[in-house]
Chains A and B, each alone.
Chain A
Amino acid sequence: QQQVKQSPQSLIVQKGGISIINCAYENTAFDYFPWYQQFPGKGPALLIAIRPDVSEKKEGRFTISFNKSAKQFSLHIMDSQPGDSATYFCAASMRQGAQKLVFGQGTRLTINP
């Protein structure tokens, strides 16, 4: 059972454009929503994370928008650069117990120069 659904599976954006990746979750007990970035041959690395008490979090060119009522959150990459080309995963977890992350299926992002 996929508790976090991510779209699109792949995305091509021109350099300087805005990349948008969307995720939807089912379990209302989730209260931590990180995004991970993965380059080929490497392990995922935390990019940015949000908790449901805020609707938006920005770090440089990366912004998470969070809609608690719709159970959706999205990653926006402003002024996308070729170096942003990677696979992006959204995830969710609950506060209780160990941090058992539930990941989305991933989005392969390509930024064309």
Chain B
Amino acid sequence: DAGITQSPRHKVTETGTPVTLRCHQTENHRYMYWYRQDPGHGLRLIHYSYGVKDTDKGEVSDGYSVSRSKTEDFLLTLESATSSQTSVYFCAISERQQETQYFGPGTRLLVL
């Protein structure tokens, strides 16, 4: 998985609790992305980063925040988890614009 790890790999949490997912890369790629994957929707971009402390919103950013304090780490936070945020979350990295995005192994999140 191109030097990308995601943690945790599985998580069960309760509605209303905060949750933080971590993406760690060893490739020193500039761009990092968070997607969610749901049946019938493919993958949808939540937030992305184009450098340390440089982030922007994607298609489905409501209820999510991100931070990138180091090149190698990109954190996704669900401020108050809801059942609609039950999903599989993927982190991806790329070196340049319109170059290959490499995906991590995913985090399966269940919000009860």
Contacts and interface: CB of A to CB of B under 8 A. Distances in A.
Interface of A: 4, 6, 9, 31-32, 34, 36, 41-46, 49, 89, 93, 95, 97-106
A105 B100 contact: no
Given A44-B103, A46-B101, A104-B42, 14 more contacts: A4-B42, A32-B98, A42-B106, A43-B105, A45-B103, A98-B31, A98-B97, A99-B31, A99-B98, A99-B101, A101-B43, A103-B44, A105-B40, A106-B42
Chain B interface, DSSP helix/strand/loop, else mixed: strand
Contacts of B33: 98, 100-101
A43 B90 contact: yes
Given A44-B90, A45-B103, A102-B59, A95 B98 contact: yes
A113 to B, nearest CB: 26
Contact of A105 (B31, B42, B48, B103): B42
Interface of B: 1, 4, 31, 33, 35, 40-45, 48, 50, 56, 58-59, 90, 92, 94, 97-106
Chain A interface, DSSP helix/strand/loop, else mixed: loop
Given A43-B103, A44-B103, A93-B98, A101 B45 contact: yes
B97 A43 contact: no
